């Protein structure tokens, strides 16, 4: 018989994290542990990572759902993808914990050259929103560290200032030397999005994530057809749980890329389904973390390596938080490694 527990973890940012939807100072996760009463020394661990202004499953009922799952773990462990379909972060946590339990409780879910420490994952350098000076400082640091792909979050400061940052980068590095991605987090208004995309194209941008807010499929479809900058859907995927609506999104909008965040889309099985649907339609994809603690990030990194995608992935090491759990993950240059 399975037994489970859950503990709330309030992660504290070392400095406020700016997004186009506001500034984050803290972020909550629930750490779920699962074990068998016949061998309580082997414990599987997973993380339900919630971003309260982004995750559609969030409400006052969310902690109650965590409790329900813990108290009825044997029921939910059977067909969790059906019973937790609308609670995608809890599904990710349970899928991870059960996978960890089945592989010995050592948080080695997907054994590979990555988990043995002999190979790494190429990642992008993430530039957080902030003042012009703060963003420029981050850019300089990432370039010194050797990153060949930078991702800038835009949409919070003045657009002209953001263009100035991109201009400074492009004066030093052309598109062959440095790949630039931008993430608007839905900040552009539909009536001026295309104009801004045309301006961004002058800086040879690899792609832009979620230029307008989600749930505007017709407008997004038109942008994907007309934008000179390739568009990647991000928040648009969150909350879709049925294969028909997932396929309908890709068929109607047909973006150039999709961004997969396993902790927000329902775990690895759902990520596999998104990848299958995208590849059938010749849509590119990559994987990113989404402010998980190192527990969730470790699982996502192991899964990402096994997918063998050569593009830079959107993973970090959880250095944003003051009180993160210990990790075996380190960054050397522009690659993420797992130290056994």
Where along the chain do its domains lie?
A: 2-102, 121-338
Query: Is 151 an active-site residue?
Result: no
Which pLDDT score is estimated for 318?
72
Which pLDDT score is estimated for 23?
77
Query: Is 14 an active-site residue?
Result: no
Q: Which one has a higher pLDDT value, 319 or 238?
A: 238
Which pLDDT score is estimated for 21?
59
Instruction: Give me the percent of the chain exceeding a pLDDT of 90.
Output: 81
Which tokens go with 308? 């063998």
Mean pLDDT is highest, among 39-53, 107-121, 141-155, for 107-121
Helix/strand/coil (H/E/C) assignment for every residue in the chain = CEEEEEEEEEEEEEEEEEECCEEEEEEEEEEEEEEECCEEEEEEEEEEECCCCCCCCCCCCHHHHHHHHHHCHHHHCCCHHHHCCCCHHHHHHHHHHHHHHHCCCCCCCCCCCCCCCCCCEEECEEECECCHHHHHHHHHHHHHHCCCEEEEECCCCCHHHHHHHHHHHHHHCCCCCCEEEEECCCEECCCCHHHHHHHHHCCCCCEEECCECCCCHHHHHHHHHHCCCCEEECHHHCCCCCHHHHHHHHHHHCCCEEEECHHHHCCHHHHHHHHHHHHHCCCEEEEECCCCCHHHHHHHHHHHHHHCCCCCEECCCCCCECCCCCCCEEEECCEEEECC
121-338 fold:
TIM Barrel (3.20.20)
Which pLDDT score is estimated for 10?
94
Which pLDDT score is estimated for 18?
63
Catalytic residue among 27, 142, 151, 261: 261
The domain 2-102: what is its CATH number? Answer: 3.30.390.10
Catalytic residue among 27, 151, 153, 196: 153
Q: Quick check: 20 pLDDT over 60?
A: no
pLDDT band at 116 (very low <50, low <70, confident <90, very high): very high
Average pLDDT along the chain: 93
Q: Which one has a higher pLDDT value, 75 or 135?
A: 75
pLDDT digits (tens, 9 = 90+) for 160-186: 999 998 999 999 899 999 999 999 989
Q: Which one has a higher pLDDT value, 59 or 191?
A: 191
């Amino acid at each position: 018989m399975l037994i489970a527990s859950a503990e709330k973890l309030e992660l504290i940012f070392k400095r406020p994290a700016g997004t186009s939807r506001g500034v984050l100072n803290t972020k909550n996760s629930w750490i779920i542990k699962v074990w068998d009463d016949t061998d309580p020394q082997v414990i599987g661990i997973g993380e339900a990572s919630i971003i309260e202004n982004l995750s559609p499953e969030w409400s006052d009922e969310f902690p109650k759902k965590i409790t329900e799952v813990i108290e009825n773990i044997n029921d939910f462990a059977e067909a969790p993808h059906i019973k937790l379909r609308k609670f995608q972060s809890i599904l990710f946590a349970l899928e991870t914990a059960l996978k960890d339990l089945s592989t010995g409780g050592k948080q080695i879910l997907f054994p590979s050259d990555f988990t043995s420490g002999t190979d790494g994952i190429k990642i992008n350098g993430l530039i957080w929103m902030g003042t012009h000076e703060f963003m420029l400082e981050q850019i300089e640091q990432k370039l010194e560290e050797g990153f060949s792909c930078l991702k800038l979050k835009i949409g919070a400061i003045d657009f002209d200032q953001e263009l100035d940052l991109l201009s400074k980068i492009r004066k030093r590095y052309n598109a062959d030397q440095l790949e630039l991605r931008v993430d608007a987090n839905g900040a552009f208004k539909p009536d001026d999005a295309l104009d801004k995309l045309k301006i961004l194209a002058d800086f040879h941008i690899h792609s832009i994530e979620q230029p307008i807010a989600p749930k505007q499929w017709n407008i997004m479809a038109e942008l994907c057809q007309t934008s000179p900058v390739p568009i990647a859907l991000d928040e648009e995927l969150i909350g879709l749980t049925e294969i028909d609506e997932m396929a309908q999104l890709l068929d109607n909008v047909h973006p150039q890329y999709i961004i997969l965040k396993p902790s927000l889309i329902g775990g690895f099985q759902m990520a596999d389904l998104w990848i299958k649907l995208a590849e059938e339609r010749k849509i590119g994809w990559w994987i990113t973390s989404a402010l998980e603690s190192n527990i969730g990030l470790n699982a996502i990194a192991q899964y990402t390596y096994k997918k063998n995608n050569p593009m830079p992935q959107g993973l970090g090491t959880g250095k944003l938080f003051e009180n993160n759990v210990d990790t075996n993950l380190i960054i050397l240059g522009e690659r993420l490694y797992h130290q056994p």
